[in-house]
C-alpha cells in the first residue's frame, strides 16, 4: 500500500498560479492527482497549467476571485462538472497590504480578511457537500507565522491568519465524523512574489529572517511540497485540526 499515492484524486488549489500554491499543486500532481489551478489572472493560470502538463500532470485552470462567493461556488461547480468529484481543497490564495494599523481604510482591512480568511469558509462550505457524497475529504488551509505572532505592519494579515487556525480547528471538529480532515500549514518566510514586496517594504527583513531561522535560510516554495502530499494523502487520515509550521525552525527560536 502506497501511503502517499494520490492516484485518481482531484485537487483544487486556490492561488495555484503563485509561488507556494504552484509548488503544492505540482507536488500533489506528481503524487498522481488531477489538478485545478484557480486564480484571478488568466495568463498566470494558463502558464501554470502548461507547466504542470509539461510534467505529465493532468491539469486545468479556472478563473476565480475568492473574494466573491458566487465566483467560488461557480469554481467548485466547474470542478464537479469536469471531474465528477473533488477530494482535496487547498485554500492557499492570500494577500497583504503593509501599513500601520491606524492607516488602514476599512475597505483595505476587509479585503485582506476576505481574501485570506472568509474565502476559506466559502470554498470549504462549497466543497463540503461533495466531500460527504464521497465520504471523505482533505482541506489544507495556508496560515502563516503571523497565525502565531503579531505584525506591526500587518495587523489585518495577522488577524486573518490567526483566524485561519481557529477556523481550521472548528471545521476539523465538526466534520471529523464525515471523514473530512482539515489542517493548517504555517509557512515561515518563503521566497515568493508576496515576500519580494515585503523585503522592499521592510528594510533589513532579508537578513533578520536568516539570523532568526535555525536552518539559516529563507524557504523556497518546494519546501511546502512534502506537507502538501502528506496532508492530502491517507497517511494523514487520523490527523485533523492541526497547524503545522514549515519554517526551518523560525517559530521555535525564542
Ligand atoms: P504569491 O503572491 O506568489 O501567491 C498568491 C496567490 O494568491 C496568487 O496565485 C494569486 O493569484 C492568489 N490570489 C490573491 N488574491 C486572490 C483572489 N482574490 N482570488 C483568487 N486568487 C487570489 O504569494 P505566496 O505564494 O507567498 O502566497 C500563498 C499563500 O501563502 C498566501 O496565503 C500567503 O499568505 C501564504 N504565506 C506566504 C508566506 C511567504 O513567505 N511567502 C509565508 C506564510 C504564508 P491571482 O493574482 O491570479 O489572483
What percent of the chain is modeled with pLDDT above 90? Answer: 97
Q: What angle do CA 81, 82, 84 make, to 5 degrees?
A: 65
Backbone torsions φ then ψ of 25, nearest 5 degrees? -60, -45
Helix, coil or strand: residue 235? helix
Can you tell me the distance from the alpha carbon of 254 to that of 244, in angstroms, rounded to the nearest whole number?
A: 18
Among the residue ranges 19-23, 91-95, 202-206, the one predicted with the least confidence is 202-206
pLDDT, position 173: 98
Mean pLDDT of 64-71: 98
pLDDT, position 124: 98
pLDDT, tens digit, for every residue of 147-181? 999 999 999 999 999 999 999 999 999 999 999 99
Can you tell me the distance from the alpha carbon of 156 to that of 152, in angstroms, rounded to the nearest whole number?
A: 10
pLDDT, tens digit, for every residue of 38-54? 999 999 999 999 999 99
Name the pairing type of β-strands 88-91 and 59-63. unpaired
Q: What confidence category does residue 82 fall into, taking pLDDT thresholds of 50, 70 and 90?
A: very high
Cβ of 66 below 6 Å from ligand 1: yes
Instruction: Say how many Å lie between the CA of residue 39 and the centre of ligand 1.
Output: 9
pLDDT, position 96: 95
Residue 197 has pLDDT above 90, yes or no: no
- Region of 253 on the Ramachandran plot (φ > 0 left; ψ -120 to 50 alpha; else beta): beta
Cβ of 144 below 6 Å from ligand 1: yes
Residue 1 has pLDDT above 80, yes or no: no
Cell numbers 503544492: residue? 24
Cβ of 19 below 6 Å from ligand 1: yes
pLDDT, position 254: 81
Q: In this structure, are residues 127 and 12 in contact, taking their beta carbons and an 8 Å threshold?
A: yes
Cβ of 194 below 6 Å from ligand 1: yes
Is residue 252 classed exposed, middle or buried when 0-12, 13-18 and 19+ CB atoms within 10 A define those classes?
exposed
pLDDT, tens digit, for every residue of 222-246? 999 999 999 999 999 999 999 999 9
User: Which amino acid residue places its CA nearest to atom 1 of ligand 1?
Assistant: 18
pLDDT, position 202: 87
Mean pLDDT of 4-27: 98
User: Which amino acid residue places its CA nearest to atom 10 of ligand 1?
Assistant: 15
Cβ of 231 below 6 Å from ligand 1: no
Instruction: Say how many Å lie between the CA of residue 93 and the centre of ligand 1.
Output: 4
Mean pLDDT of 72-99: 98
Helix, coil or strand: residue 218? coil
Q: Which mutation among 194, 197, 221 tests ligand 1's pocket best, with the greatest number of atoms within 8 A of CB?
A: 194
Instruction: Say how many Å lie between the CA of residue 94 and the centre of ligand 1.
Output: 4
Residue 122 has pLDDT above 80, yes or no: yes
pTM of the model: 0.98
Amino acid at each position: 500500500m502506497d501511503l502517499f499515492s494520490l492516484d485518481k484524486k482531484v485537487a483544487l488549489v486556490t492561488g495555484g498560479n503563485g509561488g507556494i500554491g504552484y509548488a503544492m499543486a505540482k507536488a500533489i500532481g506528481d503524487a498522481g492527482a488531477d489538478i485545478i489551478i484557480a486564480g484571478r489572472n488568466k495568463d498566470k493560470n494558463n502558464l501554470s497549467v502548461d507547466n504542470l502538463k509539461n510534467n505529465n500532470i493532468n491539469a486545468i485552470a479556472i478563473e476565480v476571485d475568492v473574494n466573491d462567493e458566487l465566483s467560488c461556488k461557480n469554481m467548485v461547480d466547474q470542478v464537479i462538472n469536469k471531474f465528477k468529484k473533488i477530494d482535496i481543497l487547498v485554500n492557499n490564495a492570500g494577500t497583504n497590504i503593509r501599513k500601520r494599523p491606524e492607516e488602514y481604510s476599512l475597505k483595505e482591512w476587509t479585503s485582506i480578511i476576505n481574501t485570506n480568511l472568509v474565502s476559506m469558509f466559502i470554498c470549504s462550505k462549497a466543497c463540503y457537500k461533495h466531500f460527504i457524497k464521497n465520504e471523505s475529504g482533505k482541506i489544507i488551509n495556508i496560515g502563516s507565522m503571523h497565525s502565531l505572532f503579531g505584525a506591526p505592519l500587518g495587523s489585518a494579515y495577522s488577524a486573518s491568519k490567526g483566524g485561519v487556525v481557529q477556523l481550521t480547528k472548528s471545521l476539523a471538529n465538526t466534520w471529523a465524523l464525515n471523514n473530512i480532515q482539515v489542517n493548517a500549514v504555517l509557512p515561515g518566510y518563503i521566497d515568493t512574489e508576496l515576500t519580494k514586496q515585503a523585503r522592499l517594504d521592510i528594510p533589513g527583513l532579508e537578513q533578520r529572517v536568516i539570523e532568526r531561522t535555525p536552518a539559516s535560510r529563507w524557504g523556497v516554495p518546494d519546501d511546502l511540497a512534502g506537507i502538501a502530499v502528506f496532508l492530502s494523502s491517507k497517511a494523514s487520515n487520523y490527523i485533523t485540526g492541526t497547524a503545522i509550521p514549515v519554517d526551518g525552525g523560525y517559530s521555535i527560536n525564542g
